Amino acid sequence: MPLPLLGRLHPEESPAFSPAALTSACARIREPAFLVRAPGEDRLGVAFGGRPEAGPCGPGDLGWVGTLAPLYPEWLGDRSFAETHGTRFPYVAGAMANGIGSTAIVIAMARAGGIGFFGAAGLLPTRIEAAIDEVQGAVGALPYGFNLIHSPQEPELEAAVVDLYLRRGVPRVSAAAFMGLTAPLVRYACTGLHRLPDGSIGRRTHVFAKISRAEVARRFLSPAPKELLDALVARGQLTRDEAELARFVPLAEDVTMESDSGGHTDNRPLGSLLPVIQAERDLAVRTHGYTRPVRVGAAGGLGTPGAVAAAFAMGAAYVLVGSVHQACVESGISARAKELLAKADVADVAMAPAADMFEMGVEVQVLKRGTLFAARGLKLRELYHAHPSLESLPDADRKKLETEIFRMPLDAVWAETERFFAERDPKQLDRARADAHHRMALVFRWYLGRSSRWAIAGDPERVMDYQIWCGPAMGAFNRWTQGSFLEAPAQRTVTQAALNLLEGAAVLTRAQQLRTWGVAVPDAAFDFRPRPLT
């Protein structure tokens, strides 16, 4: 049944009815679009300009069916995100570890109107503080954040990083790989809670919780546990007033649902996981009576405008992009690694053991094409589970390790490992001297940890050992940018990647709006091609 006419329209230009004209019309997102019916026909088109008039429509008049308001990329997510964090766009650049999520990315994103998180995971406080100096000196009052990685093997390091963030006034952290809440994380989230003049609760710090499981989301969406609050008050790390106010707010008001991403991931599909986490948010709001907005963002697999548009269509408050930015010029990984990333396809990824949680069996998603890291990492895990110590390794396996993977005697690897942990966490060495299996794990972690640093440094002798965190979004981005100015790694900037993904998502959203009205929108309208944007 055709839509009823509201009146007539005299547009300023010819209306769009042909496939080519409709494709062009979908890109004019910043103008009001009038849905019109051709005289004597039922087919719908799109017109711009003029003013619709109510009343009867004459035989030669263009019938006015409805109006679509302008649509901006800035409006795709939850407006409370921009209001809370002072951004232009509902867009976040993820905190890729070891400084791959670089200060340059954080600064560029702040200036472009998004939020970038510095990849502090794997770095010592001295290096992190130098990054804070650089970012704070460049962005001023613009939004930014730093990563806080869960460090079950190094709790003192996690506490020291939180001390640093609070001392230096870092306003946001991306809390990653947390399976439960820790005292340092709770301290960061609740420090500075205060009553505003209107009686509501104000926050000085904001936690972006990166999660992929409902039970973990539930912990972040709940108020901080009383036992942790009481312990922090007893240690003088929170005031009694801060602990009291913490009972009325969630630990995190921004929860990033991480689907099939690079690095730490459970490989969950976005379409299945996002509604589950949104339902957890809704339950938490009802249960605890929160009055401030609590947002769920989407991450993982977001390498094309269609994927970004789909996330927003499902209700994501914001999107977080990671793998794609790793291949951009500002990232802290080497040019050789960026070349490998630029050649990746959707299936060119694999799971491998994580260096920071090796003994717990945790895995990360990495680039498979052009490197043997994933296969070699899996070999290390196999040997770890099969043998109680380095000394018990069969001669053939030991030789393979020393000649193909480590490229040095295991004793030499242990010597380097001792030097590393003597500075970073001496307790690990005490444990290793008493537990041969833990010593074996530390030696294997040497390779797992160094492999990412070889990729960052661009070590030409270790290309086949590069550990490059990567999800399928990278391959999707490469296919989308093929033949465009974003195809070459040297042309990929985080600003252009972000603006094109957002602009394209808005165009695709407009195309789908028109399609739901019954306009015969051609498939070409959903193929937004990258272009230089400002």
| pLDDT at residue 222 in the model | 98
| pLDDT at residue 70 in the model | 98
| pLDDT at residue 210 in the model | 96
Over pLDDT 70: what percentage of the chain? 100
* 329-387: pLDDT as tens digits: 999 999 999 999 999 999 999 999 999 889 989 899 999 999 999 999 999 999 999 99
Residue 436 has pLDDT above 90, yes or no: yes
* 224-279: pLDDT as tens digits: 999 999 999 999 999 999 999 999 999 999 999 999 999 888 899 999 999 999 99
Over pLDDT 90: what percentage of the chain? 91
Q: 79: which residues sit within 8 A by CB, 6+ positions away?
A: none
| pLDDT at residue 393 in the model | 97
CA distance 255 to 295: 6
CA distance 329 to 335: 8
| pLDDT at residue 154 in the model | 82
Tokens found for residue 62? 């263009």
Mean pLDDT of 277-300: 97
* Packing angle of the helix pair 373-386, 436-457 (nearest 10 deg): 170
CATH 3.20.20.70 residue ranges for the chain: 74-333
* 488-533: pLDDT as tens digits: 999 999 999 999 999 999 999 999 999 999 999 999 999 999 999 9
| pLDDT at residue 71 in the model | 97
Provide the mean pLDDT of the chain: 96
Mean pLDDT of 141-146: 98
| pLDDT at residue 55 in the model | 87
| pLDDT at residue 1 in the model | 66
CA distance 16 to 25: 7
* 152-193: pLDDT as tens digits: 878 899 999 999 999 999 999 999 989 899 999 999 999 999
| pLDDT at residue 57 in the model | 87
478-487: buried (b, 16+ CB within 10 Å) or exposed (e) per residue? bebbeeeebe
> Please, are residues 38 and 62 in contact by the beta-carbon 8 Å criterion?
yes
Mean pLDDT of 67-74: 97
CATH number of the structural domain 74-333: 3.20.20.70
Mean pLDDT of 398-425: 94
| Residue corresponding to tokens 């026909």 | 41
Mean pLDDT of 106-123: 97
CB-count exposure of residue 407 (10 Å: 0-12, 13-18, 19+) = middle
> What is the dihedral angle through the alpha carbons of 86, 91, 96, 101, rounded to the nearest 10 degrees?
-60
